[in-house]
Amino acid sequence: MTDSKYYQDWFKKAEQDLRAADILLRFEDIYDTVAFHCQQAVEKYLKGYLIFCGSSIKKTHDLTVLCNMCTNYNEGFKDFFDDCKFLTVFYNEIKYPPAETYEEVTKEEAQKAFEIAQKIRGFVLEQINS
């Protein structure tokens, strides 16, 4: 599958990830999956923002790399660097069965991941709509 060149497509998929995270957070106790969906949502919002700005996107799941790229268009993204660092862990750490050093994602961490994803979503959409 080829990545879409339309930022709206990225945002649509990001919304689906956030909706899934919200449902799982409220009705299930699958916190690692919540955190994974939040990481995925933010990845898609950042990539969509880069496309909106006319940039090519990097094939990476490291949100700190994407966030840094976004600062080329808006320095306000610097405020999200630590949040992106927090979320990036949930891409590889949670995607596969636990390793010996793996620690379960807590409800608090899942809630934090969801709050971060919502905050970054709001900032990105604010930039797009201004």
Q: Check if the beta carbon of residue 52 is closer than 8 Å to that of residue 74.
A: no
Terminal CA-CA length for the chain? 31
Flag whether pLDDT at 6 surpasses 70. yes
What pTM, to 2 d.p., does this model score? Answer: 0.90
Q: Tell me how many degrees the CA angle 119-125-129 measures, rounded to the nearest 5.
A: 145
DSSP E strand boundaries for 1-99 = none
Give the list of residues 6+ apart from residue 5 with CB closer than 8 angstroms, or none.
51
Query: Could you read off the pLDDT of 32-77 as tens digits, one per residue?
Result: 999 999 999 999 999 999 999 999 888 899 999 999 999 999 999 9
Cα 125-76-58 angle, rounded to 5 deg: 75
